[in-house]
Amino acid sequence: MIALSLSEIAAAVDGELRLHGADEPATVVSGVVDTDSRNMTAGGVFVAKPGETTDGHLFVGTAVSRGAVLALVERVVDEPVTQIVVADVVVAIAQLAREVVSRVRASGRLRIVGITGSNGKTTTKNMLATILRPEGETVAPVGSYNNSVGAPLTMLRVTHDTRYLVCEFGADASGQIARLAGLVTPDVGVVLMVGMAHAGGFGGIESTVRAKSELVSAIRATPLPGQDAPGIAVLNADDPRVAGMASIADDRGLAVRWFGEADAADVRASGLRVTAEGTDATVTVDGQDLPLHLRVLGAHHVKNAVAAITAAVALGVDPAAAVERVGELELAERWRMQVMGSDRVRIINDAYNASPDSMSAALRTLAQITRPDERMVAVLGAMSELGEHAHEEHAKIGLLAVRLRIPRIVVVGDEARSLYLAAVAEGSWSDEAVFFSDADEAFAYLQGELRDGDRVLVKSSNSAGLRFLGDRLGESFT
């Protein structure tokens, strides 16, 4: 965090300052801000966030022992540290993030990109950060820091030397993206796609569309000092739901830059070829045909790559440099198409997130990268937050797995049982499709079942926990 006095921080968060020791209102703080006491370093600010299973107020002492000099709390804690008492620490870190970004932005150097979409946010964020870092100091979320806590913590990492802030905005309810993006008013807003992810929480696909469009409504509509143009909406030309958001951009006087495979896209991908070593394509930008090689597995990541390239070009990055740099990324993120195991048994651990769209894409990737002399194995768990659509969407994935001729379908967890039943009904009989209630049973089965030449996809939502099964398989077959 940039240097601020205790009184400035208290004013920003509407809090009551409780001084300790030699601290004064003018005492300056500039350390890391975090909700995890394990991440504290000297001069840090610890946010005592109450949680579902524990309470951050219990760890203030630990944070102090690790160097914290200030605690944001909802009640005074008997620990030797200055505290700022607020009504809600989650609201407080958002207020502090708004203040910090506003001060840094006043220098005129900081440019901000917001990214949202039902799938691909984290991968696109990492791709864009990879492109931007050679241009100047770049702050981007760690992992999937895209919610009401993670997004402000990312924002609070900016300094007066930061040139680019890349924000990832997730949401499980209407209004959340508007609140988070409203803290920073992005210069560039990227909407990747609208699918069934979180549809249960939103109440349907149309509500999801409205929620994702909140980012377009939050893009800066007036030029910054020293600039002569408003912000830019970067939209998916291949997704009609996203394309419809152009009307919001037009009404607000924003520029629109299109990405995708459509001929009308400003940044267009064509000639996709998927192998076990990655994906090749041609990217056309401003009349230039540029060769792209992605090390990240899966044709669906080409769309994420062209979105990142489009945003980078909108920020003034040379197109050829953007295409070259995005190809340097070896792993989108842990547990996202992460290749593990060995040449004998290759494990693709993609079990951090799952939706009908990403599940379908991962299964198709498995089919594309498996040679005729190799065997496909799909280890599949539940897709969360689908609400009333859960049974139907799981059944569709079961049908797809059979139609892709995947000879071993291993379904794990009661919430995914409809996927297994659909696969059996479609013709995956005998031991072609098997079901296990928990990951331990599945692991024991797979240890005996997997053989040389197997290519294994492990895919589920985070809540299903199959990412840890993928880790175990990767270690077992190294």
Quickly tell me which residue has 């928990």 as its tokens: 438
Annotated ligand binding at 121? The verdict is yes
Q: Is 6 helix (H, G, I), strand (E, B) or coil?
A: helix
> For residues 444 and 249, what is the distance between their CA atoms, to the nearest angstrom?
53
Annotated ligand binding at 146? The verdict is no
What type of residue is 467? R
Using left for φ > 0, alpha for ψ between -120 and 50, and beta otherwise, residue 143 falls in left
Q: Is 232 helix (H, G, I), strand (E, B) or coil?
A: strand
The DSSP code for 266 is S
Q: Which long-range contacts does 399-402 make (Cβ < 8 Å, 24+ apart)?
A: 399/423, 399/426, 400/360, 400/363, 401/363, 401/428, 402/426, 402/427, 402/428, 402/433
Quickly tell me which residue has 């197109």 as its tokens: 319
What type of residue is 367? A
Angle CA 292–295–296, to nearest 5 = 110
196, 238, 266, 449 from 323: Cα distances, Å: 30, 20, 14, 41
DSSP string covering 187-198, please?
SEEEE----STT
Annotated ligand binding at 120? The verdict is yes
Closest CA relative to residue 211, chosen from 176, 251, 237: 176
What phi and psi values does residue 477 have, to the nearest 5 degrees?
Answer: -110, 20
Annotated ligand binding at 123? The verdict is yes
Q: Write out the two tokens for 201.
A: 């929480």
Annotated ligand binding at 43? The verdict is no
Instruction: Say if residues 95 and 14 touch (Cβ distance below 8 Å).
Output: yes
Closest CA relative to residue 74, chosen from 101, 98, 43, 47: 47
Bridge partners, 270 (sequence order): 282
Annotated ligand binding at 175? The verdict is no
Q: Is 20 helix (H, G, I), strand (E, B) or coil?
A: coil
The DSSP code for 49 is -
Annotated ligand binding at 360? The verdict is no
Write out the binding residues for ATP: 117-123
Write out the binding residues: 117-123
